[in-house]
A and B are shown apart, each in its own frame.
Chain A
């Protein structure tokens, strides 16, 4: 890549084309499913950092998505709507929107990261089952706490419409932009994990005592994984909130956390490609199987059971595909393989 800007321009063009063009090609039903796949992929890949690469078992990921979703939604409704209208007055509307929407995503991510830090420091003293139970508990606490905050709608759910600025459109469901955010996040996680420094995550997964003995500050590494993972879960939650235009705590119940764990385990603990694959297939499956009526949940469950019997290490094991495989391979090995 001699001239990275060419790539950037091309990517931006593709993004705009997707954002503007897709709604003409696909009906809203497919668009919604594709958006949900993007959110699921991001949630799964971020959890992979904790469960797959650092070897800790967290099952409260939806809680961090909820923090991201609600914080970003509240930001948009109470402050962002005004900013968006003000920006729209001086700039072309699409540009104003493109400038504004990263703000709630980052805010949601940061809020979730902060929550991750608060939960991670005490919880990561626990191991195995105990850690799992603690994260599950925290996930539920977060959800129930939000359920009792009236400013974000409580049990009624929270609609992304501003009473003060009814004209502001706070929904953002451009698929190009959503997938760009997902791709960027996946790239960040992959680069973090597949660097020499990132070997610390996997060292902790493989053997904590040995990792400590070679100088890895294991507690710190675990907390880092938790915080980074929570950040991206928060971004996923913010994407979800802004693409749907409405959030409810029911979307972040234990079942959601569990679903993300399934993506990660089924895809293969320690494979980003696997998490992407499983999140995509399993988010699409209930829709694809919709024609089967009430049989679809049975088929979905059978699909899980059969996969785990045939491939207990997950679809991908610890391997990667395509560009991720390239990232995971050392320059020396690339050289040897050539």
Chain B
């Protein structure tokens, strides 16, 4: 039984069909890549899965429940977390506050925080420790008290992942995590993504342009072009798919 199952998903913006009849599924524990040229509909698909857009038609099921058109914070509560293509951190908050906000998003502030009765500070302490632990596991403990917008780019990307993990997701969606990174940073990121799957037991879907980046990392690759899925399968098969080579890799695909 797949964790995420998308059937016949279509998203239209006025006359533009961004995603056309997409079928896509993610098994528990899988690490899947969604690749395709600019404007192929990858991010749109993410935005539907996370509730930012509602599907025009088709179904999105997570853990057997239909989540198409559900609001983003409820989808997060179901167990889907994401990062964004153009990093969206809480910029003027510290790294720790970014993660704390996500740790505690489900528990809202209220009278309890005003009265601060017995047990309050232990509870706060526990939330903070959970946040700190996440920062540590992503190698960000040193910058816990640094404001997010003062962090170098690579650390901002990692912080966004830490914040997503703080919601204890079962499915993690990474939207172009490698964008703007140099080769050695990309290599480190690959290690990190593989480790996340092991250590946190999350299923991961990641979007990228860079075929080489996902090639040795993912179990399965789905290729989108003009909103349609043109190929799907293990990396080796996808790499040799003539349609992919033509639509995406160009004519000398092998070297891409």
Contacts and interface: CB of A to CB of B under 8 A. Distances in A.
Contact of B73 (A188, A198, A215): A215
Interface in A144-194: 188, 191-193
Interface in A116-169: none
Interface string A210-234: 1111111110110010000000000
B150 interface: no
Interface of A: 188, 191-193, 195-203, 206-207, 209-218, 220-221, 224, 270, 318, 330-333, 336
A206 B91 contact: yes
Interface centre among A197, A330, A336 (most CB of B within 10 A): A197
Contact of B72 (A195, A200, A203, A213): A213
27 contacts: A188-B114, A191-B116, A192-B110, A195-B109, A196-B103, A197-B107, A197-B112, A198-B109, A202-B92, A203-B93, A206-B92, A207-B90, A209-B72, A209-B84, A209-B88, A211-B105, A212-B52, A212-B73, A213-B73, A213-B76, A214-B76, A214-B164, A215-B106, A216-B73, A220-B108, A330-B96, A336-B145
Contacts of A333: 145
Given A214-B166, A215-B76, A192 B105 contact: no
Interface string B63-99: 0000000011100110001101000111111001100
Nearest to A196: B104
Given A209-B88, A212-B52, 15 more contacts: A191-B113, A195-B109, A196-B103, A197-B104, A199-B104, A200-B105, A203-B90, A203-B101, A206-B89, A210-B90, A212-B51, A212-B71, A213-B88, A214-B167, A217-B71
B124 A200 contact: no
B72 A202 contact: no
B244 to A, nearest CB: 30
Interface centre among A195, A207, A221 (most CB of B within 10 A): A195
Contact of B124 (A196, A202, A209, A336): A196
A332 B131 CA distance: 12
A191 B115 CA distance: 8
Contact of B108 (A191, A206, A221, A331): A221
B102 to A, nearest CB: 4
B90 to A, nearest CB: 4
B114 A192 contact: yes
A193 to B, nearest CB: 8
B220 interface: no
B170 interface: no
A218 B90 CA distance: 14
B243 interface: no
B93 A192 contact: no
B76 A196 contact: no
Given A191-B114, A333-B145, A214 B101 contact: yes
A293 B178 CA distance: 64
A336 B142 CA distance: 12
A195 B127 CA distance: 11
A202 B93 contact: yes
Given A195-B109, A197-B110, A215-B106, A206 B116 contact: no
A197 B90 contact: no
